[in-house]
Amino acid sequence: MIACCKNRAWAVIRRLLALVSAVLFILSFTVVRAESTAAPDAAPPEKQQQKHARGEQSGYHVDAPFVSAGLPEQRADLRPEVLDCMKSARSAVLIEPISGQQLLALNPDERLPMASTTKTMTALVVLENCSPDEMLTVPDEAVGTEGSSLYLAYGERLSVRDLLYGLMLRSGNDCAVALAIHVGGSVEGFADMMNARAASLGLINTHFVTPNGLHDEEHYTTAYELSLIAAAALRSPVFREIISTKYYTIESSVRSISIKNKNTMLWDCEGCIGVKTGYTSQAGRCLLFAAERDGEMLVGCVLNCAPMFDVAPEMLDYGFENYSVMHIVERGDELARASAPCLSGGIPLLAGESVYQPVLKGRELRTEVRISLDGGLAAPILRGETVGRAELIAGGVVIGSIPVTAGESVYPRSYRSYYEEVLGDFGHTG
């Protein structure tokens, strides 16, 4: 009788254990929450000294720093100043190119003509859509283009690379037309590509009609948005090599052409790497410029500024003397850990991209990280898999929205393993 009761009790207990193990098995598929969400008030001093990494190039395609629906939101704590020298310009700005934050600004959002600084976008679109080593025959439409010119001839053959040098060093308007037709099929088709690229950068006050910047009432930009275009183009090693070249010899099918860069800042300004000069009677003197010192880069623009070669170096000196680039999050940093029932240790959640911001020297930037996971994370989860996004907040604005990846792989446990584990624990009690 007693033995019979014990057997029935054991049977009931085994059924209950089976039910519990089944529930645990189901729970093992879902990671329910992230613990210890990171809120780094400031990066450690040693990380503040780390320099920002440049964008990478795949083939001849250039990856842009911003692909968004709007411009980078400006931090309230920066409050960009206006130097006295900037007042000789209609519009002027100095930015940190990775974050897009403004360090100096005078009418940075005013729509203005930009003359040949347009060719920065022309070069960017060309490099993103064809190889520099492609050869082309000068189209009839390019011959005799007004303004600054390389004096291209009918039927002359050149490489895209040589035409890009003619475009950026000599400021050849005919080079712009030849490249536009080669890449876009027509000047109008290429302008559409330029406008599409501007939209992909989040630009809202920029519109292109020509590839060379010859005046048109519907051809305009702002100092700030033009600086963002330069920041995107500077991620291309080919573009950077071209604009920093002082002298170059073009070899066409019929002649050799020796040219000199029109940007005198390459000789006179510490760390200058280009970018582009421009002039029309309507736009005035325009200059898009960049410099790198101690591994940090700044980009600036002045529009309708007669003493542009005096103003730009002073703006750069101010930027480098007063600001440094601060490491906020580096790709691979652990931001938090996601926990789940019956998963010991949790899953490390890692930053999928790096985030950098400019700060006044001697100050720190207090930041907060907010993580949102893609619903309930379900096993299996593979290491490196994107599982959510993280927003980094500083100065009252979101300074970065980056993917969050799993730092370890997680696999669902089998029903049998739970069943044996529970039975094993039960067998060792008492």
The catalytic site residues sit at 116, 119, 171
Please check whether residue 81 is in contact with residue 104, taking contact to mean a CB–CB distance below 8 angstroms: yes
Give which of 317, 381, 328 is closest to 355, Cα–Cα.
328
**Is 151 exposed, middle or buried, given 0-12, 13-18 or 19+ CB atoms closer than 10 A?**
middle
Distances (CA, A) of 370 to 172, 231, 395, 399, 401: 49, 27, 15, 12, 10
Structure tokens at 220: 């305009």
Structure tokens at 261: 């860069």
